[in-house]
Structure 1
């Protein structure tokens, strides 16, 4: 994979994740309440959901920020991939099949960012001599 192509992939998924977090953080309570409403009939209890719904926007923001900077890129890709698997599981539990393709695409981009990290350029990881 060419280095510039990798930069576009890394920045694309980074901007998406940063944006997800950025728009949700200012309306955190409303976001959490909306998620809880969506999951009210699911198998997941509120004591698990509430902390997750409050943490999710901050995790999304952090993943996006790290990917945009190209710092801790592989770790950000792993955390992003795990997050997508969790979201895919939750989406499946509430049968929200419309959200699944977007989550699967995000997962694919995290896999690409991780797998082709040797092409990582225009990144803080490179200035530190690590991949």
Structure 2
């Protein structure tokens, strides 16, 4: 087994576990999470009509993207989706000037981009098994 494939697997699992975990812990308390997010954005220029649906969709997206990455299924689209989620989170973070959260989101975005760049090493995955 090639080292690059193992490295890709470990990084895919790490970012997948992070996304999965974010979604998993938020899903049981979805209403409370949504209320917290709406309150966090009440002084921003973004309307709550945008924040409320996003606050309900975010944990579902995190959970689904994380689960797909853990299994290596639909990896390319999951990495693109994860990158898009990070861009939206980064935009929201700067709108409320939550500078402490920004490094973590940028790191996640960098991992999504790097994994997408080296997608050819995704050989330890369900995608690879299905393609055979």
State the TM-score bracket (shorter-chain normalisation). over 0.9
| Equivalent-residue separation in structure 2 for 1:109 and 1:91 (angstroms) | 18
* Equivalent of residue 69 in structure 1, options 68, 71, 92: 71
Give me the TM-score of the superposition, normalised by structure 1: 0.97
Shift of 1:113: 1.4
Whether 2:130 is the aligned partner of 1:128: answer: yes
The answer for the alignment partner of 1:48 in structure 2 is 50
* Equivalent of residue 28 in structure 1, options 17, 30, 46: 30
| Equivalent-residue separation in structure 2 for 1:93 and 1:27 (angstroms) | 24
* Structure 1 runs, 4 residues or longer, greater than 2 Å off: none
The answer for the alignment partner of 1:11 in structure 2 is 13
- Pairwise CA RMSD: 1.1
Q: Which runs of 5+ in 2 are unaligned?
A: none
C-alpha deviations, 1:23-48, integer Å up to 9, x for none?
00000011000001110000111111
Shift of 1:73: 0.3
Give me the TM-score of the superposition, normalised by structure 2: 0.96
Q: Would you say how many aligned residue pairs link Structure 1 and Structure 2?
A: 130
Shift of 1:121: 2.3
| Equivalent-residue separation in structure 2 for 1:48 and 1:115 (angstroms) | 31
